[in-house]
């Protein structure tokens, strides 16, 4: 008899409920996530020899404890929050949301859903994911800094600056302005400070892109060769997708990344609507890929124009293009290869040497070699799909 341990995780606590294959509650408890609480929780679970942990949000708030359990040899499955919410709504108690109720809903969802994803904590893929997250944060920080810079330049210069502004261009602009009033002097000083911040962020972005490009190339992946995929996008695909074989076919992959449209037909009207579900980070990578291809002559641009000529709207044509690009990324697995792994210790030592020299642009404590490799076909391999 397999015991299912449903868990509602938080930062400093975890509430569990253990049920058997018939749904009977065997035990409950609330434990801390520090070493003492974790050991106590693990000891309570080890009374059941055949067991599996069901944790809500293993890619979110539950990731820290899910990875600890996997590291200790425990079997862990990921229960989507929407699935456990559906169980909670249809249970007795008027859909009340408490930690014990959430743990019970997670356990029942795992019991009734045998095809849930098992969690595999690959430390090297986790490292790549962290670097991709850091690159996204730098991008957002740059956008915020440029927006603040534009606001001050508009008050400092008649008409402000052009839309796409680099730090060097901003520095040349501010050099032409010599305000005499106190407000103008402070405004100019703040602009100079923001330009300095922008230059620092640009250096960090350049270093992050270089590191990600090297890590992706080490695994033999040609994702970057695709029109519209940069180092950050390629790293995101490798880290978040992981083992592509867990998807039965390209349609399941498209459903997972949110590019598969939802059927919204009614009566004689046949139509599909946008899906807002799925992995939004991967969806963003595919959206960026589509935008880049639309800006220049490409196979993607030709496909988009053909769909519009067939009577589709611009948004419908864009969704069709993203769905096609999802197929291109999925096709990569047919030519996936494993290259010799670089020495992990050597790469960590190299990164530590850079830090010792006082360079603050290194975005991680080390540069691990990555086990997952994903080689995709060229964009020209896209074939018409209706």
To the nearest whole percent, how much of the chain has pLDDT over 90?
Answer: 49
pLDDT of residue 360: 30
**pTM for this prediction:** 0.74
Strand 76-79: give its sheet, edge to edge: 25-32, 13-19, 3-9, 51-56, 76-79
- Report how far residue 95's alpha carbon sits from residue 117's, in angstroms, rounded to the nearest whole number: 26
pLDDT of residue 115: 82
Which residues are registered as beta bridge partners of 29?
16
pLDDT of residue 92: 61
- Report how far residue 277's alpha carbon sits from residue 259's, in angstroms, rounded to the nearest whole number: 9
pLDDT of residue 74: 93
For 211, the token pair is: 């590191």
Which residues are registered as beta bridge partners of 9?
14
Q: Which residue has the tokens 């341990």?
A: 5
pLDDT of residue 304: 95
Q: Please list, residue by residue across 131-151, b when 16 or more beta carbons sit within 10 angstroms of its beta carbon and e when fewer do.
A: bbbbbeebeebbeebbeebbe
* Residue 217 C-alpha from the chain's centroid: 20
pLDDT of residue 346: 47
Consecutive 10-residue runs of the chain (386 residues): their mean pLDDT? Answer: 90 93 92 94 93 90 90 91 83 73 92 86 84 95 95 89 90 90 92 95 96 87 86 91 82 90 82 82 94 92 94 91 91 49 42 37 32 34 38
For 333, the token pair is: 């697995």
pLDDT of residue 86: 83
pLDDT of residue 343: 43
Task: Give the chain's largest Cα–Cα span.
Answer: 81
């Amino acid at each position: 008899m397999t015991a299912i341990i449903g868990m509602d995780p938080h930062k400093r606590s975890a509430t569990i409920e253990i049920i058997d294959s018939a749904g009977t509650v065997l035990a409950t408890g609330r434990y801390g996530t520090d070493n003492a609480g974790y050991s106590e929780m693990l000891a309570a679970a080890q009374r059941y020899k055949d067991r599996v942990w069901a944790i809500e949000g293993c890619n979110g708030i539950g990731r820290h404890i899910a990875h600890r359990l996997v590291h200790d040899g425990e079997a862990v499955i990921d229960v989507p929050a929407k699935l456990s919410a559906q169980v909670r709504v249809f249970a007795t108690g008027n859909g009340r949301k408490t930690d014990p109720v959430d743990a019970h809903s997670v356990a029942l969802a795992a019991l009734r859903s045998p095809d849930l994803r098992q969690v595999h904590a690959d430390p090297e893929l986790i490292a790549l994911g962290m670097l991709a997250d850091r690159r996204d944060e730098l991008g957002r920080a740059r956008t915020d800094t440029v927006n603040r810079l534009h606001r001050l330049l508009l008050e400092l210069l008649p008409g402000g600056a052009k839309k796409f502004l680099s730090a060097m261009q901003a520095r040349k602009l501010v050099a032409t302005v010599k305000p005499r009033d106190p407000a103008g002097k402070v405004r100019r000083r703040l602009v100079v400070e923001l330009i300095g911040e922008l230059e620092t962020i640009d250096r960090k972005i350049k270093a992050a892109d270089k590191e990600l490009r090297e890590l992706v190339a080490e695994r033999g992946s040609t994702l970057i060769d695709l029109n519209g995929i940069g180092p950050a996008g390629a790293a995101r695909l490798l880290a978040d997708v992981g083992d592509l074989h867990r998807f039965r076919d390209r349609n399941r992959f498209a459903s997972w990344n949110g590019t598969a449209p939802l059927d919204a037909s009614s009566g004689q009207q046949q139509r599909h609507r946008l899906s807002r579900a799925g992995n939004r980070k991967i969806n963003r990578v595919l959206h960026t890929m589509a935008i880049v291809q639309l800006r220049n002559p490409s196979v993607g641009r030709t496909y988009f124009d053909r769909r519009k000529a067939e009577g589709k709207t611009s948004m419908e044509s864009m969704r069709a293009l993203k769905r096609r690009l999802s197929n291109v990324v999925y096709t990569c697995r047919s030519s996936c290869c494993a290259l010799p792994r670089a020495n992990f210790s050597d790469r960590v030592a190299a990164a530590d040497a850079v830090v010792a020299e006082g360079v603050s642009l290194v975005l991680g404590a080390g540069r691990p070699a990555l086990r997952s490799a994903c080689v995709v076909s060229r964009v020209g391999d896209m074939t018409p799909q209706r």
